Chains A and B, each alone.
Chain A
Amino acid sequence: MANYSDLEYLRLSKGQKFAYKLGHFFLSIPRAIGRLFVNIGKGIGKGAKGIGRSLADIGSTFRNGDGITKGSFVIMGLGNMARGQILRGILFLLFEIVFIFYMVTTGGYWLSMLPSLGHQGPAQEYNPIYDTYVTTYHDNSFKILLYGVLTIFFIIAFIYTWRANLKQAKITQEMREKGIRLKSGKDDLRSLVDEGFYKTLLALPLTGIIIFTVLPIVFMILVAFTNYDGTHDGYFNSLFNWVGLENFNTMLSWEGGGNVYSATFGEVLTWTLIWAFFATFSNYFLGMFVAMMINKTGRTFKKGWRTILVLTIAIPQFISLLYVSKMFAKNGIVNGFLMNMGWIETALPFFEKAAWARITVILINIWIGIPYLMLIVTGILMNIPADLYESAKIDGASGWKQFTKITLPYMLFITGPYLVTQFTGNMNNFNVIFLLTGGGPTNPAASGASGSVGYTDLLVTWLFKITTGAESKYYLASVVGILIFVVVAVITLVVYNLLPSVKNEEDFQ
């Protein structure tokens, strides 16, 4: 595709300009993906270099350190304590004691079991006295995996702290030698509400995120490499094992023209992307349209229209969507109404045929989405500088021209990131699909895949079906989850890299 200079570009007709921009957008996608991988590679390289530098630094700390600094290699916080920073020293030492105590009492066990995920499953024995069977339970693969991962987290935290302790020992030693006053415990505490305030602010939120988001995600990623399912629950029926990449193989292999899983995955992914596209943009443009229409009506009415639309946000979706899905059933009130009016002879198959069901859910999604968009757009419209319109008016621009030249570009610029989050959010829009169709109508071709997959199933509802389906194949759910992540991550990162409004975060300040 030709690259035009600014002058050449200006000479193009409207259609050509649009085509040019669109073409460039898509052409830049491969480059953005490429950049993504380069960046990932760079990051890894940086990390490796950082570790190397750290090791060198540890070595030099040991060589140049005095007795106290050397002692800090074994007794954490010694450097701080000996040099008067009692509070820091005690915290270091306390951490070391807790760590050692934990590793000796339980951590060591979990870690040692992690490679095997347990040796002995449950056993049953007949007890003739009571005429009953007695079950004895042994190892618990699930707990081994969970606490094994937690232990590894803990070890990483320990290494990090140990390293910080060494740095401190080195710095305090150097400062002492130069005769600089060291910060006291009081100074440390004061800094927590001032220049170090961010540490105080972040401590709690990050702790929560690590335990309740990071840990579960790491765990579930690992599950994708095991055979954890309803019949290998790790404790009650039999242990689960590591199986390597077998599950990914099941899901993605194309040998012999593809198996039912890979075919189903392809089909569900395609629909997920189509759905996300239409759900996002239909809401976006119609929402904008409605907001502008409402703005055009008188001041007194504005509030009324908005209130009516907002009512649909306030009713929980599990009630409203369930009812709406019933309305569109073959014998629901919509079909009943149309038949009574004599407009149709037989019921319309809203949720019965693939194409119908897909269009119906997209349309109903508009019903849900417009109120939100309307609110957002109303706010943004108020923010568009009034003088822009005034000067346009003076130039004699028509309403349509004002829209295409001022409103739309402004909106697109401002809401770029929002559109991306909406898109990925729609890809994972569980509620709408689950409550409206439950994924149906069933896709006969996919019935061999775990869970009964339908034509409106998104990857995320499929994931749910696998988890709760007849065989509870958690490992496959985990594979699907990872694949969803990969797809969403690629889309997000690529588009984010292409968006102008994200690049310059500071511009808004």
Chain B
Amino acid sequence: MSKKNDYDPSEIKRAMGMTAKNRVSNTVIYVVLVIMSIVWLIPFFCIVFQSFRCESTWMAGYVFPTKWGLDNYINLAKTDFWKWYTNTFIIAVVVAVFQTIIVLCMSYTLSRFRFKMRKGLMKFMLVLGLFPGMLTMIILYRVLKDLNMTQANAVPGLILVYIASSGMGYYVSKGFFDTVPKTLDEAARIDGATRAQVLWKIILPMAKPIVIYTVLTAFMGPWGDFVFARYISMNTSAGMNVAVGLQSWLSLDQINNRYTMFCAGGVIVAIPVTILFLCLQKYYVEGVTGGAVKG
């Protein structure tokens, strides 16, 4: 792994004594960043405010509610929301586990082994990845239907599809493995370790950032899928994920009664993802920078 350092150009400058010019430019930077933060946070807070609005349930043209309360959150329990939430959570957890395993298998193999079909395989997958995924929606639906994995059974169906195609997303973690020196493997091989042992005992413990990065991205994906998941669940409430379920509240016959609940549901969806993301941000950064850019 390349050497990391916490070198910060600004600190040297400070050590050398701040010039007036620097002070001006720092002020400008702070002002810009404050304005940016406001712009970035406005929609976020607006959505949160909407979720606490109790005086009406439709889309309103103003930001601050006249009557605050938790009605929208409480009312969620009267709908299938928690069923959708559980569905999504199950999907996200299972997919996170299996996708991580598959991605690690693929990326480690393609980074470490040199076999006959390797280059061809990588090119082939690169080409496959260039087809718009939207196109295969219809046919995946029919295949899953024949396996009885649509509508009320959409959860296993979605899990299957997400996992099955996850091998394609090996680039980032392959890039990461490429930065792990090969000499480590070779030393262990000389000591008599099999390839499997090398992976388990030596590489995996080192790959913590990329494992966490993969788990995080795999876990976040299913929360926002509202196109494919909608197709697979075919309006059966029991098989919806939270994105599809919430989207169904925006249809013409429901939006007037459900819009504020939609916002409340959205806030609840955002909570676990936000917390995870904030806690694991460090690894995310290490993961992408270690892998994505070199993929």
Contact = CB atoms under 8 A, between A and B. Distances in A.
- Asked if A and B touch directly (CB within 8 angstroms), the answer is yes
Interface stretch (A86-94, A118-126, A215-223, A260-268): A215-223
Contacts of B37: 305, 308-309
A492 B130 CA distance: 9
Contacts of B178: 505, 508-509
Interface string A279-318: 0000000000010011111010000011111111111111
B277 A386 contact: no
A132 B54 CA distance: 51
A202 B109 contact: yes
Given A195-B195, A212-B161, A414-B294, A316 B43 contact: no
User: Interface on chain B toward A: helix, strand, loop, or mixed SS?
Assistant: helix
B127 A477 contact: no
A485 B132 contact: yes
B274 A418 contact: no
B274 A474 contact: no
Nearest to B242: A316
A116 to B, nearest CB: 20
A13 B208 CA distance: 47
A146 interface: yes
Given A296-B29, A485-B132, A319 B143 contact: no
Contact of B295 (A293, A417, A463): A417
B33 A297 contact: yes
A220 B61 contact: no
A386 B246 CA distance: 49
B76 to A, nearest CB: 14
B289 A323 contact: no
A314 B277 contact: yes
B276 to A, nearest CB: 8
Interface stretch (A60-68, A173-181, A331-339, A449-457): A331-339
Nearest to A403: B9
A382 B5 contact: yes
A219 B196 contact: no
A385 B127 CA distance: 35
B266 A319 contact: yes
A89 B136 CA distance: 38
A385 B38 CA distance: 34
Contacts of A467: 134, 137-138
A48 interface: no
B234 interface: no
Interface string B176-205: 001101100000000000111001000000
A333 B63 contact: yes
Interface string B106-121: 1011000101000000
A484 B132 contact: yes
B254 interface: no
Residue among A208, A212, A375, A481 with the highest chain B CB neighbour number at 10 A: A212
A463 to B, nearest CB: 6
A379 interface: yes
Contact of B288 (A220, A376, A478): A376
B207 interface: no
A310 B288 CA distance: 15
Interface string A462-482: 011001000000100110010
A333 B61 contact: yes
A219 B290 CA distance: 37
Interface string B90-116: 000000000000100110110001010
A378 B29 contact: no
A206 B166 CA distance: 10
B287 to A, nearest CB: 9
Interface residues of B, number: 99
Residue among B135, B223, B269 with the highest chain A CB neighbour number at 10 A: B135
Interface stretch (B67-75, B77-85, B278-286): B278-286
Interface in A59-96: none
Nearest to A418: B293
Interface in A209-237: 209, 211-217, 219-220
Contacts of B39: 367
Contacts of A382: 4-7, 289
Given A382-B4, A418-B293, A501-B294, A314 B138 contact: no
B284 A375 contact: yes
B289 A380 contact: yes
A316 B9 contact: no
Contacts of A204: 102, 105
Given A380-B289, A386-B7, A489-B127, A319 B62 contact: no
B12 interface: yes
A367 B182 contact: no
Contact of B194 (A197, A299, A367, A421): A197
A280 B171 CA distance: 19
Contacts of B136: 213, 216-217, 219-220
A331 B61 contact: yes
Interface of A: 142, 146, 193-195, 197-198, 200-202, 204-206, 208-209, 211-217, 219-220, 290, 293-297, 299, 305-320, 322-324, 326-327, 331-333, 336, 367, 371, 375-376, 378-380, 382-383, 385-386, 389, 393, 399, 402, 414-415, 417-418, 421, 424, 428, 430-431, 459-460, 463-464, 467, 474, 477-478, 481, 484-485, 488-489, 492, 501, 505, 508-509
Given A306-B281, A314-B278, A318-B246, 19 more contacts: A197-B196, A201-B105, A205-B106, A211-B143, A216-B139, A294-B33, A309-B36, A309-B37, A310-B277, A310-B278, A311-B41, A319-B269, A382-B289, A389-B9, A428-B132, A431-B224, A459-B132, A467-B138, A484-B131
26 contacts: A146-B143, A193-B196, A194-B194, A197-B109, A201-B108, A204-B102, A209-B125, A217-B128, A217-B135, A220-B138, A290-B36, A296-B26, A311-B44, A314-B273, A314-B278, A319-B263, A320-B44, A324-B43, A333-B46, A336-B61, A378-B285, A415-B293, A430-B134, A481-B134, A489-B127, A508-B175
Interface of B: 2-10, 12, 26, 29-30, 32-33, 36-37, 39-41, 43-44, 46-47, 50, 59, 61-63, 102, 105-106, 108-109, 113, 115, 125-128, 130-140, 142-143, 160-161, 163-168, 171, 175, 178-179, 181-182, 194-196, 199, 223-224, 226-227, 243, 246-247, 250, 262-263, 266, 269-270, 273-274, 277-278, 281, 284-286, 288-290, 292-295
